[in-house]
């Protein structure tokens, strides 16, 4: 089929003979991908191609998307660009805080990734899931293993130094034994069922374990006192 298109060239000039405005309008006679027009350089390389179906290619002869660019795509005054460096990359530059927003039509943003001062990357969202979409209200959920050189947990709750206060009620050993016989775990420590269902809160569990270590220390101190009293009694009996 013979391609058909018409060009309407409108050129308006100032009285001063300087070009005020220039417009080229192209009306395509078909919607085939073979219809369209191209802008080429002197070596016949395609610089711009508009297909009959409306797809636009920059440096691309046969664009498969509404806009397809061969090479880097830049914007702004500071060299922000999309590129195919190392496969594909996005580089955001600016004199403020570059960010990427994810939002629905009615929100300013639902989630934001932003570079804040001191080269810190901030993530603002209800939660972040790695390998999972279910965070259960947590800020970060990871389905799999994680490794770190150090993890610092800052608790809002009290640290169990209260065990050494005079007001702390330490269970007697018979009471402790009875609790273990009934529940099959130390008092104040989650059961196997609770851990399986809810997981292990690291900060809280560290506090509970320290509490048990401190209680054990008190038991040892008390036992040591009793042992010394028994030794003293035995020595007295032997002298008599």
The alpha carbon dihedral of 143, 149, 153, 154 has a sign of negative
pLDDT tens over the chain, length 240 residues = 334 333 333 333 333 444 444 455 555 555 566 778 888 888 888 899 888 888 999 988 889 999 998 888 887 777 777 777 766 777 777 778 888 888 888 888 899 999 888 889 999 999 999 999 999 888 999 999 999 999 888 877 788 889 999 999 999 999 999 999 999 999 999 999 999 998 888 888 999 999 999 999 999 999 999 999 999 999 988 887
pLDDT of residue 28: 58
Q: Where are the alpha helices (DSSP H) in the chain?
A: 173-183, 192-198, 202-239
| Closest C-alpha to 66, from 33, 41, 39 | 33
Say if residues 8 and 25 touch (Cβ distance below 8 Å). yes
Say if residues 69 and 55 touch (Cβ distance below 8 Å). no
The DSSP result for 185-215, as a single string, is S-TTSPPHHHHHHH---HHHHHHHHHHHHHH
The DSSP symbol for 222 reads: H
- Measure the CA–CA gap between 112 and 103, rounded to whole angstroms: 9
The domain limits of the chain are 5-70, 71-126, 160-239
Say if residues 121 and 114 touch (Cβ distance below 8 Å). yes
- Measure the CA–CA gap between 177 and 28, rounded to whole angstroms: 90
Strand ranges for 133-184 from DSSP E: 140-142
pLDDT of residue 239: 80
pLDDT of residue 213: 96
What pTM value is reported for the model?
0.54
DSSP-derived 3-state class of residue 64: coil
């Amino acid at each position: 089929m013979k391609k058909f298109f018409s060009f309407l060239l409108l050129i308006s000039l100032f009285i001063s003979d300087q070009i005020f405005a220039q417009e080229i309008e192209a009306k395509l006679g078909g919607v085939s991908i073979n219809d369209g027009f191209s802008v080429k350089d002197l070596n016949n390389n395609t610089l711009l191609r508009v297909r009959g179906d409306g797809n636009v290619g920059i440096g691309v002869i046969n664009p498969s998307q509404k806009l397809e660019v061969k090479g880097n795509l830049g914007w702004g005054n500071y060299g922000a660009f999309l590129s195919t460096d190392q496969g594909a990359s996005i580089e955001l530059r600016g004199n403020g805080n570059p960010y990427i927003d994810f939002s629905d039509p009615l929100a300013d943003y639902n989630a934001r990734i932003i570079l804040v001062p001191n080269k810190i990357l901030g993530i603002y969202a209800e939660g972040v899931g790695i390998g999972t979409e279910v965070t259960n209200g947590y800020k970060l959920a990871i389905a799999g293993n994680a490794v770190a050189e150090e993890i610092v947990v800052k608790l809002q709750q009290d640290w169990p130094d209260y065990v050494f206060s005079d007001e702390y009620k330490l269970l007697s050993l018979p009471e402790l034994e009875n609790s273990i016989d009934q529940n099959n775990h130390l008092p104040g420590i989650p059961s196997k069922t609770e851990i399986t269902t809810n997981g292990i809160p690291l900060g809280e569990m560290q506090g509970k374990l320290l509490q048990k270590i401190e209680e054990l220390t008190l038991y040892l101190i008390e036992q040591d006192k009793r042992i010394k009293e028994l030794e003293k009694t035995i020595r007295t009996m032997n002298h008599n």
